[in-house]
Structure 1
């Protein structure tokens, strides 16, 4: 399996600097890194920075956010990386500064290759200076900024050299109170030891149900189905799920149907899209506290 790290953080926080640093360290360790970069515009200037750092498999997702309009393109680009570079050991996905971490993870967790990717977690770069000035942001943007911090599995408090000692102590206290679970490291130019990142976010996943980040703010789980599913019974089960289930998507073979259906669930809404091929039935669930969530087919 390929270890996957999703790099999150607000615009200008230092995600690309972190990315280049981590890529260099992975290469020095003898492993093969790869990168998927997301940018709103038609040109991703940051990708040239990564390419200049050395030969690294790289795919770009332009003209859309990984968390919404670019979700389908994300799946296609990831499939391309996996097919073209089977030697990949570590994959870094840099999101746009406007990406919501939950929706970004949703785009990454494709049932087509869920069992090939071991998503270690979200590494969020927190701009220490902007944290102090966050009240100047619009309410909507400020909420996004805080959500990126809240859902982090590991936090890089960057640009600490721009703060006084008292300011740095105050910001560190506030950020760790806002997300008390994720480890935090203070940095300048987003320089952090990758081995430390690995150690702090690496959680062993049970082989029978592929999960990541057990006990962390955001987790995932993959359910597999060996036989066709009764649609009515399945939707009844969906309605019993707790609010801690944020997203579900997968390909499911329904009783009485020749081909698979793409199933999607978000904010309590269910959507079925018929496919014209048979795809192994797998369902990816994203949320919190998913350990006890299982589906029992209708007898």
Structure 2
């Protein structure tokens, strides 16, 4: 691990950012599995009222991932509640008899990472914790589908023909802000795309970096691009970057640099309560159809399948739905079927709920 004079003696923290469904939780779970006895602690932030990612990590069955090692803040934006939530969470971890050797912070998929990095200047933690690195996780399949930005060649053609580009969408802005704050960019789910699409995704990332004054190994601040499948990246690469990102904010541009603050009015989330679902395959087909019809960005939750002792984990990114049984229901645990639905503002909650009921 590399440390500079401003970071020596501080507890390192790694911020894991990335758009909805990129595989942040999967990457963190992989890190836990490879912890090799290192004391890691997690702060998990979600956009929505029901915490799914923290529960997934608690269910990992790994001895390095105890209940006490996971702090879940389901308020949608850590940097908007620094004094109330984030700083107390950090202080709670540091006050433990055996404090963590490294803190991993998973932001919500809609979070802007730069304001969170700025929060490390808060007086109560400034001299005690440093941002070792910001890791942006990218869903290769979603990026290849054009979910975050049009094809670079299409953009060039549009500019040549019309003399200007369309304004960025809220999704594109969040995606680019996450890239431009990163020290490492993990292109995840590479097993879902071919070589040509993977090259297109990496070109898209480099174009966004260049537009923001960054480069991979060139002029400007460097952010290295890594490839991964199922979030598997060597912890030696991810932990120990030594970036001291809180003291490098000027080199991490954001679409919101000129704003007094920021909000999340472009996105919405809600919870849909379902009854028992006897046919997981049929449920997946229904979710795929509803996501396509209503423009749902993200679906995730747990489902009660009658006759099965384990709960069904549902993960959806756009119309790509995945399910698997992740752990046994606990004896005192109510067997509920609940899904968190996330989309852009205007998503018809009543219509989605009716379609799933």
- 1:157 corresponding residue in structure 2: 187
Q: Using the alignment, how far apart are the partners of 1:215 and 1:102 within structure 2?
A: 7
Structure 1 residues 268, 144: closer, same or farther in 2, change over 3 A?
Answer: closer
Tell me, which stretches of 5 or more residues in structure 2 are unaligned? 1-9, 151-166, 210-214, 216-221, 262-357
In the alignment, which residue of structure 1 is the partner of 2:38?
31
The whole-number CA distance in structure 2 between the counterparts of 1:71 and 1:17 is 29
TM-score w.r.t. length of structure 2: 0.55
Q: CA deviation at 1:79?
A: 1.5
Partner of 1:46: 53
SS state of the match for residue 97, structure 1?
A: coil
Contact 1:36-1:60 within 8 A present in 2 as well: yes
CA drift of 1:42 comes to 2.8
Superposition map of 1:1-12 within 5 A: 1-12=10-21
Structure 2: distance between partners of 1:216 and 1:182: 15
Secondary structure of 1:113's counterpart equals helix
Question: Contact 2:79 / 2:86 at 8 angstroms: preserved in 1?
Answer: no
Distance 1:52 1:117, change over 3 A: same
Instruction: Measure, in 1, the Cα distance between the counterparts of 2:18 and 2:75.
Output: 19
Q: Which residue of 1 aligns with 2:224?
A: 183
- The alignment status of 1:13 with 2:22, answered yes or no, reads yes
Structure 1 portions without partners, runs of 5+: 206-210, 220-242, 247-265, 270-299
Shift of 1:43: 2.2
In structure 1, how many angstroms separate the alpha carbons of the residues matched to 2:97 and 2:120? 17
TM-score, normalising length from structure 1? 0.64
Q: Is the 8 A contact 1:65 1:71 kept in 2?
A: no
Could you tell me how far apart the structure 1 residues matched to 2:129 and 2:78 are?
17
Secondary structure at the aligned position of 2:20 is classed as: coil
Contact 2:137-2:188 at 8 Å conserved across structures: yes
Task: Indicate whether 1:202 and 2:214 are aligned.
Answer: no
| 8 A contact 2:191–2:229 mirrored in 1 | yes
Q: Is the 8 A contact 1:11 1:96 kept in 2?
A: yes
Q: How does 1:1-299 map to 2 (within 5 A)?
A: 1-26=10-35, 28=36, 30-53=37-60, 54=62, 55-56=65-66, 57-69=69-81, 72-84=84-96, 86-132=98-144, 133=146, 134-135=148-149, 139-179=169-209, 180=215, 181-198=222-239, 201-203=241-243, 217-218=251-252, 267=259
Deviation, 1:120, is 0.8
